[in-house]
A and B are shown apart, each in its own frame.
Chain A
């Protein structure tokens, strides 16, 4: 009888753990083992590609990322107006997907050591059953300007409908808070 109750408890706990895993942060990361990241003192963050339904998501996340990256104090982030001038002067047609040549060209114009590209895969409210919660999914990559090759890439997904949202509703954390959380996760992966 006791064994049966114990099994039932284990089943319930396992089920809840599985449920909570559906809303936790997921990630992947790549660092070029040959790259000396301490040599990167200034970066230019290009406009992010936006694959979400929110038309301002790219701009919003880029602004938040630039501020958080600069707040680390490790690198200088070129102001967005200066990046726009660099893109215009390099006559880049699609600043969200740069070729190696374009990366070198922008690097020379803006006098930066690296260029960061980003993609917003999801940004907004996610509905699952009766639960609704904001979710953000983004990926970023860094290209050094000497060779124009990728030296770092990372992705992060934060938010979504978890156990709390399913059981109690409430709508999850505000969008700007989970954006900061996702960006911090990405930055952890950059400086790990």
Chain B
């Protein structure tokens, strides 16, 4: 008898949250919070891509999960009225306008990082949800980077040869993560292997307090890589990794862009102390400005090729001083000895791990001096 009660209780416990999630999600999102404006996909792949098709597939996935989407007619009218062409970020003015002029209470910004239809197909996307209102704030961010032959399994049963299937899988991951977030569930990232940690780093002592989240602003990165948009892609990864860290609060890039436009700032050689001071006067809540240099961003081009990523990460404090400087470089076939076991096939995944490792290291409070080279 006790065993039966225990079994029944277990079933009820397991079933409870699932049914609440499925019911609650629709009520919470379609009626209470209003629809999401899905902006046109930003193409950072460097090649022509079927952006409309990808956006339509994304909207279909969101609709399937009962997430209401602002209709295209209203969005197009709004974009035309505000001359909104760059859909990679929204500033405070646009966030307020969205709230005032459309029923949308959220804006979904999606970036296409990599796209290849030929075998092995590959796609890398990231999305973020920005609150429409007085202040543009990031509410959620996640992404997916998949390659058809990433996990072939026995007799290639896990191989994905069709691009559409791969795209659907990626969009399902993203929309699933968004739906989980909206339903109040949070996902935990698995720990990153130490091989992805920065190879060299400097951390100024007592600049990274552990007691409260750091507020960071991600500045434009310098691109020295052959890959077009390498800097924008890395900045996107930093943004995602920062958002997912509980110890960081990251500002929407649109608000930083607004400050850069205001002073017509162009930084071809990186940020100077004067630039930092000027930007921080516009965004007084920021503790740190994060910038960097992308030396290499190479994505694998065939089944037997591996990605290579090499970047520097710099953090500048409110006084304009460098408080973090690190260099990370890795290859997708590092530490691989047998049959590609443990290999990383896409630059998206490799960069994601490297950035997470670097950010973890940066925020670690007791590392001042540890990354310093031993002097004989």
Contacts and interface: CB of A to CB of B under 8 A. Distances in A.
A82 B224 contact: no
Contact of B373 (A56, A76, A77, A187): A187
B373 A184 contact: yes
Given A60-B224, A67-B312, A192-B376, A73 B272 contact: no
A81 B322 contact: no
Given A56-B224, A60-B295, A68 B269 contact: no
A129 B224 CA distance: 32
B200 A67 contact: yes
Interface in B258-309: 267-275, 293, 295
A26 interface: no
Interface in A79-138: 79-85
B224 A81 contact: no
A31 to B, nearest CB: 15
Given A66-B325, A79-B314, A74 B272 contact: no
A36 interface: no
A188 to B, nearest CB: 6
A79 B272 contact: yes
B221 to A, nearest CB: 12
Nearest to A187: B373
Interface size class of B (residues with CB under 8 A): 20 to 34
B369 interface: yes
B275 A81 contact: yes
A70 B273 CA distance: 17
B375 A72 contact: yes
Contact of B312 (A63, A77, A180): A63
A77 B327 CA distance: 15
A84 B310 CA distance: 23
B271 A79 contact: yes
A168 interface: no
B199 A72 contact: no
Given A64-B327, A67-B200, A192-B376, 19 more contacts: A60-B224, A63-B327, A67-B325, A67-B326, A70-B325, A71-B200, A72-B372, A72-B373, A72-B375, A74-B375, A79-B272, A79-B316, A79-B322, A80-B269, A84-B268, A84-B269, A180-B199, A180-B200, A188-B376
Interface of B: 199-202, 224, 267-275, 293, 295, 310, 312, 314, 316, 320-322, 325-327, 329, 331, 369, 371-373, 375-376
